[in-house]
Structure 1
Amino acid sequence: MGGAARDGGVESARYANPPDWNEMQAWRRLLSPGDLFIDVGSNVGAYALWAGDRGATVFAVEPGSAAAERLRRNVALNDFPITVLQCGLADRPGRMRLTSGNDAMNHLVRDGDQPGEEIAVDTLDNVLGDRCAAGVKVDVEGAERLVLEGAQRALSERRIAVLQLEWNSMSRRLLSASRVPVAELLREHGYTFMRPDGRGRLHPLDPPAESPTDLFAVAPGRFG
């Protein structure tokens, strides 16, 4: 992997020691040159650069102005096909607010009276268009369900092969719900749940209401 500004996870990824070892090893197995990978909640680009190094075409989606600027600097240091989209993703296009000053922990604000940075919001269906994505990573600090609700067409047409989803308790704070509604939404579209081991191999599991580690959702027929 090429160079990167010293921004936490990106720097460690540069030296082949990715911050999310199991998950990134899974993408090393799953992605092939020419695949489309969408990094939702890219922050400074650890996953985007990892996928780009694998030869994938990448859309790196990051709404925060400070993080997006660092992301652009990291992308500029590498000769990878990465497009930076400075916006949030949710269930519908529009404008929302994003907290500021929390670095990678910034999140959408649903109460319009709360302070934060006003951002543009689009849907994953609009970003994807009629394309197929080999992989989509969604790490948006509890708003993962909103992102998936804005991807109903792509999910129903099974044009997203594999998703990586944050599965912690953040959704309780933002949406007053566990991850159960996310699991139900994906199951309606035929997706099954898996978790990677240290070699990046995916193993089936029954998703818990929440978990400290990310889960993968796999489209029907992805593994035969």
Structure 2
Amino acid sequence: MEDHDNPAWGAKMPSGLFAALLARARRSDSKVWTRLGSWFAPDAVDIETLGFRARLHPKDNLSEKRVLYTPGRFDPQELAHLSHALTPEFVFIDVGANCGSYTLHLAAQAEAGTRFFAIEAQPEMARRFAFNLAANRFAAAVQLDELAISDTRGEIRFTINHHNRGESGLEGVGEEISVPALPLADYLAERNVTRIDALKIDVEGQEHRILAPFLDRAPETVWPRILIVEQLLATPEKDPVQLALSKGYEIVRDLGRNVILERSGCR
């Protein structure tokens, strides 16, 4: 039975003037054409981008806007590094998965036996991720969990930024909701994950709440080989990069905002 409020992928393909402006923005990878296209954009757009099908909502989420208009600017070095690292039976954990861009881009390239665990606490973004996942057929296994990863187990406060949903998180100003939370070690144990090839965490400055207890208590055998995090130079006491360095990780690429690290001796 058709869901008229959420029709199948393909029902919201770009058309008319917007389609022309969108095509120009994507060809030129230009912010100027992005701004022009934004004036005529609908609330949701169906498109194939970064190797997967998606329904993107560019008006309330900067990440979706970037993937729609200028996919070449969406973390290209991070995605390339992860793509190059893919192997059969690869295990990827995506904490703060948003609409799924990282996970879906990698899953589109991965073989059967590869495992992806995507974690998104915000109900609307988890719903969007689930829709995008259903629009694709991947050989790899992709599991989506609607919860938060933090330093505690139980219900915790989560704040939704309706202007840019990608800036929602465990701290901030906006609509407050309660979401279930697990420490990372507990999450992995409950899903029988005994190793991580790559871990991407994007949780709006709260990465230390996840990584500090995990790296202090979890056995090194389960530590991620590759770690991608945003560095927080203004708050060094909360900077996940400095934390990882103190635990023996090495910087592979400093990309300004994001940093790619790997465990010493694992490259």
Q: Which has the higher contact order (CA 8 A, sep 6+)?
A: 1
Work out whether residues 194 and 221 of structure 2, in 8 Å CA contact, stay in contact via their aligned partners in 1.
no
CA RMSD of aligned residues (A): 2.8
Gaps of 5+ in 1: 198-211
Matched, 1:48 2:103: yes
Alignment of 1:5-154 (within 5 A): 5-7=55-57, 9=63, 12=67, 17=72, 19-55=74-110, 56-80=114-138, 81-100=141-160, 101=162, 102-109=164-171, 116-129=176-189, 130-152=193-215, 153-154=217-218
Work out whether residues 230 and 240 of structure 2, in 8 Å CA contact, stay in contact via their aligned partners in 1.
no
Work out whether residues 131 and 159 of structure 1, in 8 Å CA contact, stay in contact via their aligned partners in 2.
no
Work out whether residues 93 and 123 of structure 1, in 8 Å CA contact, stay in contact via their aligned partners in 2.
yes
1:125-146 CA distance string (max 9 Å, x none): 1222251111000000000111
> What TM-score does the superposition give when structure 1 sets the normalisation length?
0.78
1:218 partner amino acid: E
Q: Cα distance, 1:30 vs. partner?
A: 1.4
Task: Give percent identity, aligned residues only.
Answer: 23
Work out whether residues 227 and 260 of structure 2, in 8 Å CA contact, stay in contact via their aligned partners in 1.
yes
Q: Cα distance, 1:58 vs. partner?
A: 0.7
Deviates more, 1:130-139 or 1:62-71: 130-139
1:187 partner amino acid: L
Query: What's the counterpart of residue 262 of structure 2?
Result: 218
SS at 1:3 equivalent: strand
Work out whether residues 109 and 116 of structure 1, in 8 Å CA contact, stay in contact via their aligned partners in 2.
no
Matched length = 201
Q: Cα distance, 1:122 vs. partner?
A: 0.7
1:138 partner amino acid: I
1:96-153 CA distance string (max 9 Å, x none): 1111123111010389xx8511111111112222511110000000001111024224
> What TM-score does the superposition give when structure 2 sets the normalisation length?
0.66
CA, structure 1 residues 196+215, in 2 after alignment: closer, same or farther (shift >3 Å)? Answer: closer
CA, structure 1 residues 196+51, in 2 after alignment: closer, same or farther (shift >3 Å)? Answer: farther
Q: Cα distance, 1:4 vs. partner?
A: 1.3
CA, structure 1 residues 154+31, in 2 after alignment: closer, same or farther (shift >3 Å)? Answer: farther
Work out whether residues 121 and 148 of structure 2, in 8 Å CA contact, stay in contact via their aligned partners in 1.
yes
Alpha-carbon distance between aligned partners in 1 of 2:146 and 2:84, rounded to the nearest angstrom: 28
2:85 partner amino acid: L
Give the helix-richer structure, 1 or 2: 2
Alpha-carbon distance between aligned partners in 2 of 1:110 and 1:159, rounded to the nearest angstrom: 29
1:21 partner amino acid: P
CA, structure 1 residues 155+30, in 2 after alignment: closer, same or farther (shift >3 Å)? Answer: farther
CA, structure 1 residues 124+23, in 2 after alignment: closer, same or farther (shift >3 Å)? Answer: same
Deviates more, 1:185-194 or 1:214-223: 185-194
